[in-house]
Amino acid sequence: MNRRTLLQATLGLCALPVASFAQSPSPAARLRIVAEPYFTTWFDAFYARALAAGAQPDLLDRELAGLAADPRVAALDSMQPEFARPVSDYIRGVTNEGRIAIGRARRGTVTAFGAIEQTYGVPRDILMGIWAMESGFGAQQGDMDILRSLATLAAAGRRRVWAEGELIAALRILGAGEISRSRLKGSWAGAMGQTQMLPSTYLDAAVDGDGDGKRDIWTSAPDALASAAHLLAKAGWRRGEDWAREVILPADFDFGLSEGPQLAPSAWKAKGVTRADRRVWSEADGAAACTLLLPCGAGGPAFLALPNHFVIRRYNNSLAYALGVGLLADRFGGGGPLVTPWPHETALSLSDRMAAQTALARQGFSPGQPDGVIGLGTRQALRAWQKAHGLPADGYLSPAMIQRLKGQTLTPS
Residues binding Ca ion (CB under 5 A)? 208, 210, 212, 214, 220, 223
> C-beta of 212: minimal distance to Ca ion in Å?
4
Q: Is 16 exposed, middle or buried (CB count within 10 Å of its CB: 0-12, 13-18, 19+)?
A: exposed
Write down the catalytic residue from 82, 97, 134, 246: 134
The span from the CA of 216 to the CA of 367, in Å, is 42
Beta carbon nearer to Ca ion, 82 or 212: 212
Least distance from C-beta 167 to Ca ion, angstroms? 25
Q: Which is nearer to Ca ion, 204 or 241 (CB)?
A: 204
Which C-beta is closer to Ca ion: that of 157 or that of 211? 211
134 noted as active-site residue: yes
What is the spatial order of strands in the sheet that 274-275 belongs to? 274-275, 244-248, 302-305, 291-293
Give the integer Cα–Cα distance in Å for 404 and 402.
5
SS3 of 171-225: HHHHHCCCCCHHHCEECCCCCECCCCECHHHHHHHCCCCCCCCCCCCCCCHHHHH
Smaller CB distance to Ca ion: residue 178 or 208? 208
Contact between residue 296 and residue 345 where contact means Cβ atoms under 8 Å apart:
yes
Q: In this structure, are strands 144-145 and 185-186 parallel, antiparallel, or unpaired? A: antiparallel
Q: What are φ and ψ of residue 144, in 5° steps?
A: -85, 145
Name which of 225 and 355 has its Cβ closer to Ca ion.
225
CB of 196 within 8 A of CB of 187? yes
Smallest distance from the beta carbon of 260 to Ca ion, in angstroms?
A: 44
Residue 210 or 371: the one with the smaller Cβ distance to Ca ion is 210
Cα-flanking dihedrals φ and ψ of residue 280, to 5°? -90, 155
DSSP state of 373: -
CB of 213 to Ca ion, least distance (A): 7
**What is the spatial distance between Cα 24 and Cα 47, in angstroms, rounded to a whole number?**
15
Closest distance of CB 189 from Ca ion, Å: 25
DSSP β-ladder status, 274-275 and 302-305: unpaired
List the catalytic residues: 134
